[in-house]
Amino acid sequence: MSETELHEPQAQPESELDEDDRLKPEFVSAVLEAVAAGDSETAHARVAPLHPADIADLVELTPAELRPALAAAISDLIDGDVLAEMNDWVREALVDALEPHQVADIAAELDTDDAVAIIEDMEPEDQREVLRALDPDDRAAIEEALSYPEETAGRLMQRELIAVPEHWTVGDVLDYLRGHDELATDFWEIFVVDPAHHPVGTCALSWILRTPRNVSVSDVMAREQTLIPADMDQEEVALRFQKYALISAAVVDANGRLVGMITVDDVVHIISEEAGEDILHLSGAGEGDINEPVLDSYKVRVRWLVTNLATALIPATIVFFFEATIAQMAVLAALMPIVAGVGGNAGTQTLAVTVRALATNQLTQSNTLRAIRREIAIAVLNGLTIAAVIGLAIGTVFWDHELGIVIACAMLANIVIAGLAGVLVPVTLERFEQDPAVASSVFVTMVTDSMGFLAFLGLATAAGLVGN
């Protein structure tokens, strides 16, 4: 096949990468030293065998002040594939440094989606200049893509696809593909369209390959297919690809006509961006799956709460060191951050689980009540355990059972409130079509801090712990 087609699955030279497929630091510094020393030839020779994704990584790993020199040394290697793989910010800076006709040359060799990604962030003036420098077909394709709102299927799609009429046979398809060198080279299914260019079916390439020449494509194709409206938000596109395990899908305009194709490699980075279990790890909620049995969730979470309880003792101890400063009832001031802090951790756990379940469409109106009941159950179990531990510890250390009971009750109350807030706040935000991940945390922290202090200090006062 042609060079471009061999380009895609080209392997990385193993020796320059560590076991996690990252460029080795020795390699990066060797290249950068050569660049800094003005030895462009050595730099070029080292970089040339790399995969485009690794060249993009190298540019990202280069300090900003050295990037122009690196780019100059390897300018012929920084092609469209490299730019398509590059971080948005780094690419933008590189592209800004290029002349519009250079950008046009690069854009012309790319699929529409990659060309759009490079051009869409340019200044309007520069963008117009690049478009003028493109040949009319490429310009029309890119201008159409830019006519769709940002972050929609219309921007993500490539116009390069194979569409054939329903009356063709498998043999017609093979002859057509073999006879037209200008057609798309990387595609995974063929779309069957009616005369008005509405999709009527789809054939995976493997079905075509396994079918004799004389069979009609209408006998091979699947009539049901997942169609993506061009104005669909890219997050929904990503969720749809994920849900139906799609490799590629047809994009249709408002009139239902086939206008493009999205392939899974273009949405993988969106899926990766939209997802997120780091928050689960950071909040110590284990797997954080809403179908996990209550006792299992309890075990994972209570262990974390005990850890947090232990570490919360250290800042509290420091406050306690300033007893003379805080005077009279310093003990309360030292203990109150524990009540607030552990409550905050409990709230964050619930929040993380809820946000995750909402993001993956696992938590819907159909099971919200169940999720709330489940979170309350876990919160009560967590609260009882932590209350017992802290109540006994404080009651013993201070030899004051009233103080122990007060902190235990405050802790139980705050953890239950934290659990409620952690599920109700994001669910309510989602119901009002706000992103639950963005605003929930402030509210939940405010609730757990406020209630922690209120419950602890209020109970202490009510119990008459403080001599009036």
Minimal distance in Å, beta carbon 383 to its own copies? 19
Does 4 participate in binding its own copies (rule CB under 8 A)?
no
For residue 257, give Cα distances in angstroms to 50, 107, 161: 40, 26, 14
Minimal distance in Å, beta carbon 148 to its own copies? 18
Within residues 18-37, the interface with its own copies by CB under 8 A covers: 19-23, 25, 28-29
Minimal distance in Å, beta carbon 326 to its own copies? 5
- Side chain identity, residue 111: D
Q: Residue 24 in 3-state DSSP? A: coil
Does 400 participate in binding its own copies (rule CB under 8 A)?
no
- Interacting residue with its own copies among 187, 285, 387, 417 (CB under 8 A): 187
Distance between CA atoms of residues 397 and 15, nearest Å: 59
Distance between CA atoms of residues 190 and 179, nearest Å: 16
Q: Residue 277 in 3-state DSSP? A: coil
- Interacting residue with its own copies among 112, 356, 378, 387 (CB under 8 A): 356
Strands in 227-229's sheet, in edge-to-edge order, are: 227-229, 248-252, 258-263
Does 434 participate in binding its own copies (rule CB under 8 A)?
no
Distance between CA atoms of residues 350 and 336, nearest Å: 22
Minimal distance in Å, beta carbon 364 to its own copies? 5
Contact region with its own copies (CB under 8 A), list: 3-11, 103-111, 120-128, 411-419: 3-11
Minimal distance in Å, beta carbon 12 to its own copies? 8
Contact region with its own copies (CB under 8 A), list: 105-113, 137-145, 307-315, 413-421: 307-315
Distance between CA atoms of residues 142 and 374, nearest Å: 50
Contact region with its own copies (CB under 8 A), list: 126-134, 202-210, 381-389, 412-420: 202-210
Minimal distance in Å, beta carbon 283 to its own copies? 7
Distance between CA atoms of residues 415 and 257, nearest Å: 54
- Interacting residue with its own copies among 39, 129, 166, 186 (CB under 8 A): 186
Sign of the alpha-carbon torsion through 350, 355, 360, 366: positive
- Interacting residue with its own copies among 370, 397, 401, 463 (CB under 8 A): 370
Within residues 154-173, the interface with its own copies by CB under 8 A covers: 173
- Side chain identity, residue 239: L
- Interacting residue with its own copies among 89, 295, 396, 428 (CB under 8 A): 89
Distance between CA atoms of residues 352 and 275, nearest Å: 12
Residues 6+ apart with CB under 8 A from 271: 238, 241, 242
Distance between CA atoms of residues 443 and 422, nearest Å: 9
Number of residues that bind its own copies (CB under 8 A): 141
Within residues 93-122, the interface with its own copies by CB under 8 A covers: none
- Side chain identity, residue 186: D
Contact region with its own copies (CB under 8 A), list: 35-43, 186-194, 386-394, 396-404: 186-194
Distance between CA atoms of residues 449 and 337, nearest Å: 8
327 and 401 in contact (C-beta within 8 Å)?
Answer: no
- Interacting residue with its own copies among 276, 376, 377, 402 (CB under 8 A): 276
Distance between CA atoms of residues 441 and 445, nearest Å: 6
- Interacting residue with its own copies among 202, 349, 382, 414 (CB under 8 A): 202
Please give the helix or strand (H or E) that residue 101 lies within, else none. Answer: helix 100-108
Minimal distance in Å, beta carbon 212 to its own copies? 6
- Interacting residue with its own copies among 71, 74, 130, 460 (CB under 8 A): 460
- Interacting residue with its own copies among 40, 102, 108, 207 (CB under 8 A): 207
343 and 459 in contact (C-beta within 8 Å)?
Answer: no
- Tokens describing residue 164: 């054939």
Counting Cα atoms < 13 Å in the Cβ hemisphere of 10 gives 15
For 432, list phi and psi in degrees, rounded to 5: -90, 20
Instruction: Check residue 228 and give left, alpha or beta (phi > 0: left; psi -120 to 50: alpha).
Output: beta
Contact region with its own copies (CB under 8 A), list: 40-48, 129-137, 388-396, 456-464: 456-464
- Side chain identity, residue 221: M
- Interacting residue with its own copies among 10, 75, 428, 434 (CB under 8 A): 10
Within residues 212-271, the interface with its own copies by CB under 8 A covers: 212, 220, 222, 224-227, 236, 239-247, 263-265, 268-269, 271
- Interacting residue with its own copies among 75, 140, 315, 392 (CB under 8 A): 315
- Tokens describing residue 65: 């002040």
Does 438 participate in binding its own copies (rule CB under 8 A)?
yes
Minimal distance in Å, beta carbon 247 to its own copies? 6
230 and 148 in contact (C-beta within 8 Å)?
Answer: yes
Does 40 participate in binding its own copies (rule CB under 8 A)?
no
Within residues 41-60, the interface with its own copies by CB under 8 A covers: 51, 53, 57, 60
- Interacting residue with its own copies among 77, 329, 372, 409 (CB under 8 A): 329
Minimal distance in Å, beta carbon 133 to its own copies? 27
For residues 75 and 364, which CB has a smaller minimum distance to its own copies in the complex? 364
Token pair 């069957």 is found at: 192
